[in-house]
Amino acid sequence: MEQQDIRWKQRFQNFDKAFHRLDEAMRILPLDPNNFLLQAGIIQIYEFTFELAWKTLKDYLDAEGFTTPSPKATLRQAFQSGYIQDGDLWLKALNDRNLTSHTYDDAIARKIVNDIHEYYFSLLQNLYTRFASLI
């Protein structure tokens, strides 16, 4: 049990770094919203920040005694257990995270960057705040 408790805290350290990079990008985006390189960077930062977020959540749930074999299972259990809010938006964020890895369409990329800025960042921010309060 102690090893699992340590695991989520170790993973959170990486999530912390990634989250702060995404936070910085979110502050820069309004200054140059049509910058293709900035958009591409935001998508990349979002991909690894989201990955670390769900894996930190999985490790935390494991420490709490839950078994979640996939990202969707992790998000569903976290929502059912009250660790995250707006489960449907989390699942949409996951789907878009998966889509960014395989999409090269500019319109889809712009839409996802907008959704990251408008919706997904606040999900990650709420999760970050929750975990930071537990450390």
Query: What pLDDT, in 10s, does the model give residues 58-97?
Result: 999 999 999 999 999 999 999 999 999 999 999 999 999 9
What topology does CATH give the domain 2-134?
Four Helix Bundle (Hemerythrin (Met), subunit A) (1.20.120)
pLDDT over 60 (residue 1) = no
Residue 56 clears pLDDT 60, i.e. is over it = yes
Summarize pLDDT for 107-128 with one digit per residue, the tens.
Answer: 888 999 999 999 999 999 999 9
Average pLDDT, the chain: 93
As a whole number of angstroms, the distance between CA 113 and CA 33 comes to: 9
Single pTM value for the model: 0.92
Note the pLDDT tens digit of each residue in 40-52: 999 999 999 999 9
Q: What is the pLDDT of residue 42?
A: 96
For the chain, the domains span 2-134
